[in-house]
Amino acid sequence: EDQVTQSPEALRLQEGESSSLNCSYTVSGLRGLFWYRQDPGKGPEFLFTLYSAGEEKEKERLKATLTKKESFLHITAPKPEDSATYLCAVQFQGAQKLVFGQGTRLTINP
């Protein structure tokens, strides 16, 4: 069965302390991998789409990378406003729907 696993479940960092979140997937054919940010009480907010191994996307302090079996969301010098739950989702070949991971709850302490 196709699965999406995110790690760690929760991560607490000090402001300025860089780190990475992981999203691994077992899928026969990847069409796209998506990263979302979700703040408490709000809907997921789209961040990035990655389509093929080796691809990278950047937005402010965030950079997403993709290999054949996993994706990383790198956070460089994070600020407290980067605190949120980060979700990854996979779209399989021949399918339109997304399968979401359980998310990583990121807390940045000032």
Partner 1 sequence: DAGVIQSPRHEVTEMGQEVTLRCKPISGHNSLFWYRQTMMRGLELLIYFNNNVPIDDSGMPEDRFSAKMPNASFSTLKIQPSEPRDSAVYFCASSFRDLGLAGGRLARHEQYFGPGTRLTVT
CA 76 to chain centre: 14
Is 44 a binding residue for partner 1 by CB under 8 A? The answer is yes
Tokens of 32: 């796209």
Q: Which residues contact 12 (CB under 8 A, 6 or more apart)?
A: 106, 107, 109
Candidates 16-24, 35-43, 57-65, 75-83; binding stretch for partner 1 (CB under 8 A): 35-43
Is 31 a binding residue for partner 1 by CB under 8 A? The answer is yes
38 beta partners: 85
Q: Which is nearer to partner 1, 94 or 110 (CB)?
A: 94
Is 5 a binding residue for partner 1 by CB under 8 A? The answer is no
Residue of 39, 29, 44 whose CA lies nearest to 91: 29
Is 94 a binding residue for partner 1 by CB under 8 A? The answer is yes
Query: What does the binding site for partner 1 look like in residue numbers (CB under 8 A)?
Result: 31-32, 34, 36, 41-46, 49, 51-52, 87, 91, 93-94, 96-103
